[in-house]
Structure 1
Amino acid sequence: MALIVQKMKRLCEERVRQEPPRSGLYCNATWDGAMCWDFTSAGSTAKQHCAKYIPSFNPSEFATRECLPDGTWKPNFVETNNTVGWTNYTNCLRNNPKPQVPIDKNDHLTRIQLMSEIGYGISLASLIVAVTIMIASRRLHCKSNVLHINLFCAFILRASVSFLKSSFFVDDIGLEKDIIRNPGGTIEFKENGLHWECKLIVSIFMYSVATSMMWILMEGLYLHMLVYKTLFTERHGTRLYVLFGWFSSFTFVTPWIVVRIFKDNDLCWNRQNTGGYFWIIKAPMHLSILINFLFFINIVRVLCVKSKLSRHVKSDAKYWRKTAKFVLVLLPLFGVVYIAFNAYPVGVFSMEADFIYLYCEMFYNSFQGFVLALLFCFLNEEVQNEIRKWCFKRRLNSNNTRSILLSSWRKSSRRMSRDTTRDTRISSDCNIHPNGTCTDTCKLNNMCHEHATWPRKSRAMTKEKFKTLSWQSEHNDCVKGEPDSLTFGEGEV
């Protein structure tokens, strides 16, 4: 409210600097601290509606000021001598006879901002994980999941720009270079300069909000076409949905930017002073919400019709329970909650009701990305099966690696045991000399390493001896004619 009052005061000062009426006696234009009063003829009473930007005023009532015959504003008391005069705001407070407890708006706005940052942070983290899972698994690359991935990316853009805006904007007015800090602690917006940086950030934020709403419409349109025109959806794929979801927002965000540049180039475009210009963006988003709501009603109607046809197959309780779960899942996907938010008239009820509405709306807007990632990724059976398969493969690979390492360790231990046995056998055939050398106990004067080759030599000699004996046996068989001598000779060998 303070910013609006400052702007109205600035406009009033511009009116005061304008040329007064050329003839007659009149009271000067003035700012009384709440409202601006134009030049008024002497001896008349000025009258205008109570200010809308003051919460305690009733806009349907009138405030009055009396211009005295001498061309001065009537003061509150006789002894008062000032040029500002006194304004009668009694009728503006007629609907508030009892003094109300003032609401600390800054405290509520700080809490809402903190809740929004927490919600967007949780949504951003969950959406990034969901997109990573769906892109990494090839089995999840179906048409519906492609649309889900684009929907998640739209909400990732919205959360990222919201973080950027809340981090760099000072009191939601502008960047540090766009404001002036007064000695009393107040902040004032600089009038000079283009301020294109903060306006660019606000424009991207408006595009992200509009794109997220368009992608909700694309999800609803896809499900509606899937129910009625299955062949059309199977043949054409998702290319048209992707193009329309990302580029349709430019058709109304771009005209809004042009209008703000030439008609309402005030502050950083984050204040909607003229309500008519904001409807350039607001009307298409409300229309998309309405169309999605009609899609939702039609799909629920189809489910109810199918429930009547399948009663002879399934039990009513089981089918209605399944239908209720499906409808609850469709609520955030179709953005049905936005119908209630758009239907609420802001400013009609009390300020407490407006703050309750603001809490609910900002909570849903900030946590909507997390709800979508939870319902369409983390709780999806296909995604859960892919995660289980990935965990199972990783566990199996770790077990195989462990078994390979264990088997190699066992082979190395067996090899070491054989080497130890061989060394023990070698050492049993040798005697250690007192000076540390190995002495051979055999008659041959050889080194100990030759004993290591002795088993191989002995086996070779045995084979040669076996061949000799077998040849002799065969020779004897041929001479003597004893057929069993070969068996006997081999048995002996």
Structure 2
Amino acid sequence: MEISDSSSNVMNADIIHHTHNHTEEEENSVYSTGMVPDMMWKIREDCERLMANYNESSEELYCPPTFDGWSCWNATPAGRISVAPCPYFITGFDPQRMAHKVCTEEGTWFRHPQSNLIWSNYTTCVDVEDLEMRQAIVNVYIAGYSVSLIALVVSLAILIGFRQSLKCTRIYIHRNLFASFIINNAMWLLWYKGVADQPEVLLDNRIGCKILHVLLHYFLVSNYFWMFCEGLYLHTVLVVAFLSENSIMKWFHLIGWALPAAVTATYAGVRASIPEETNHCWMEESRSTWILSGPVCLSMLTNAFFLVNIVRVLVTKLKAPNTTSYNAAPHGHRSSEAHRAEMLADGQRPDEADGRTNGHVPALSNSSGGGTSSHRTSTSLNGLRKAVRATLILLPLLGLHYVVMPFRPEAGAPGEIAYQIVSAIFTSFQGLCVAFLFCFCNGEVLKVLRKEIVRYAATRKVGLQNRRLILRSQQPMTTEL
């Protein structure tokens, strides 16, 4: 059986050039704007015109031109194979490779033996190594989100179960942040398994998958906004001397839950009004995505400012014992701001440092104003280490690794796979990192857990002792004659 290139048919040379040849700019435009359905519709229209103008030859047997949903195939002599470039607008296909379609000796297109439908062979279009790598990246996302989900559920259960012992504004914010993480992670797993990994669901394009898309993005935006609330609170506690805890939590609830609802509703309304962007369960990129990404980017940039200013205050306040401001403090006591800075650097609750429950600023240190040079150097280095530690702790909490990471490379560009792997690890395991830093490794939480374990052990010991006494009292008494 011979192989013939579709472009060798002079009668169809124009349409082949129009359908398959494309520039790099056009390819990037298709990917960035999500215009895949438009491209497929245009190819179909061109192919229908080709089929309408086709005149069957009486001298030689041909398979007629046809459109298979992705490519337009030219009329091909019986017993030959028609080849065409792989569609560049299908994710995972290599446009440098060739697909093929068999014209049988009877002048009909080959039918697949299992489905008995006319079949085009696109299996050669897939870069198997690339496909396996991308599937491995998806598996990283699934594993990361699943592990993070379990850790976050346990963390939230601990914070809620010991809410009487863990009473402070920062813990309240943590609970809301953990809740947003939990719902966001669960929604992503549900979205991938129920929609993204189900081609028939994408083709059906029903209202249910669109609602799921909107909910997924709502909780994603809410997650970012609660990270913003964490940064805003830490910055406010460290900079502002007095703060009304009750009123600030009302604002945080508005920022963390209500504002994302308004943003997401606006996005859903705008996107629904653009017909060409309502296909495939809204999986494709949309021009209206900026409605979501704009506020999220603004929140991350603001958190970046908070981080810089927090570190600046930390360095300044932790150096306070070696400065005039420290020596000028009455009786050698450090200022409440310096103590709050040190508590924050140690990962503790800075809101307790200035006695906010009763407005009293406690005396926290009795260090004298004088000291040796070596002691001052040691204190300075210790303060710097604490500032660095606080920075590393705050990065995942504020979601700033997205700012630190480079912008997404183009598909197929050098470093794109490495970026995808790093992004998958940072994104999916962020919840696990936050759960460990602010629950499992939190000094307050560990103290409460240890206290509860001791109480439980003591109660169990008393219960066992009482049970032994009861059992002894129930034993029959025997006497010897």
Shorter chain as denominator, the TM-score bin is 0.5 to 0.7
Cα 1:166–1:56 change in 2 (3 A) is closer
The structure 2 residue matched to 1:269, chosen from 282, 299, 310, is 282
The structure 1 residue matched to 2:136, chosen from 111, 123, 135, is 111
Aligned to 1:294: 305
Aligned to 2:43: 12
Q: Deviations over 1:35-69 (max 9, x none)?
A: 99xxxxxxxxxxxxx978899789xxxxxxxxxxx
Cα 1:146–1:17 change in 2 (3 A) is same
Which is greater in Rg? Answer: 1
Q: CA deviation at 1:141?
A: 2.3
Q: Deviations over 1:215-245 (max 9, x none)?
A: 1111111111112224234462412102220
Matches within 5 A, 1:21-100: none
CA–CA distance in structure 2, aligned partners of residues 11 and 157 of structure 1:
40
Matches within 5 A, 1:286-435: 286-311=297-322, 315-341=379-405, 343-347=406-410, 351-413=413-475, 416-417=477-478, 420-421=479-480, 424=481
1:305 maps to a residue whose letter is T
Segments of structure 1 that go 5 or more residues without pairing to the other structure are: 20-29, 37-49, 59-100, 180-188, 425-493
Cα 1:109–1:51 change in 2 (3 A) is closer
1:344 maps to a residue whose letter is F
Q: CA deviation at 1:172?
A: 5.7
CA–CA distance in structure 2, aligned partners of residues 148 and 324 of structure 1:
22
The structure 2 residue matched to 1:208, chosen from 193, 212, 219, is 219
CA–CA distance in structure 2, aligned partners of residues 7 and 376 of structure 1:
48
Do 1:4 and 1:53's aligned partners in 2 also have CA atoms closer than 8 Å? no
Q: Secondary structure at the match of 1:416?
A: coil
Do 1:135 and 1:141's aligned partners in 2 also have CA atoms closer than 8 Å? no
Q: Deviations over 1:243-295 (max 9, x none)?
A: 220111122211211122121212110111x4x32211111111111111011
4+ runs of 1 displaced by more than 4 Å?
1-7, 15-19, 30-36, 50-58
Q: Deviations over 1:362-415 (max 9, x none)?
A: 2111111111110000101111111111111111111111111222333345x6
Q: Deviations over 1:334-387 (max 9, x none)?
A: 11211033x414218x53411211111121111111111100001011111111
Q: CA deviation at 1:310?
A: 2.3
Q: Secondary structure at the match of 2:243?
A: helix
Do 2:180 and 2:223's aligned partners in 1 also have CA atoms closer than 8 Å? yes
Give aligned pairs, total: 335
1:396 maps to a residue whose letter is A
CA–CA distance in structure 2, aligned partners of residues 286 and 170 of structure 1:
25
Cα 1:135–1:109 change in 2 (3 A) is same
The yes-or-no answer on 1:222 pairing with 2:283 is: no
Q: Secondary structure at the match of 2:429?
A: helix
2:283 maps to a residue whose letter is N
Q: TM-score, normalised by structure 2?
A: 0.63
Name the structure, 1 or 2, with higher relative contact order (CA <8 Å, separation 6+).
2
1:268 maps to a residue whose letter is C
C-alpha RMSD of matched pairs (Å): 3.3
Matches within 5 A, 1:160-171: 160-169=186-195, 171=197
CA–CA distance in structure 2, aligned partners of residues 238 and 32 of structure 1:
58
The structure 1 residue matched to 2:155, chosen from 111, 120, 130, is 130
CA–CA distance in structure 2, aligned partners of residues 127 and 197 of structure 1:
27
Q: CA deviation at 1:31?
A: 9.2
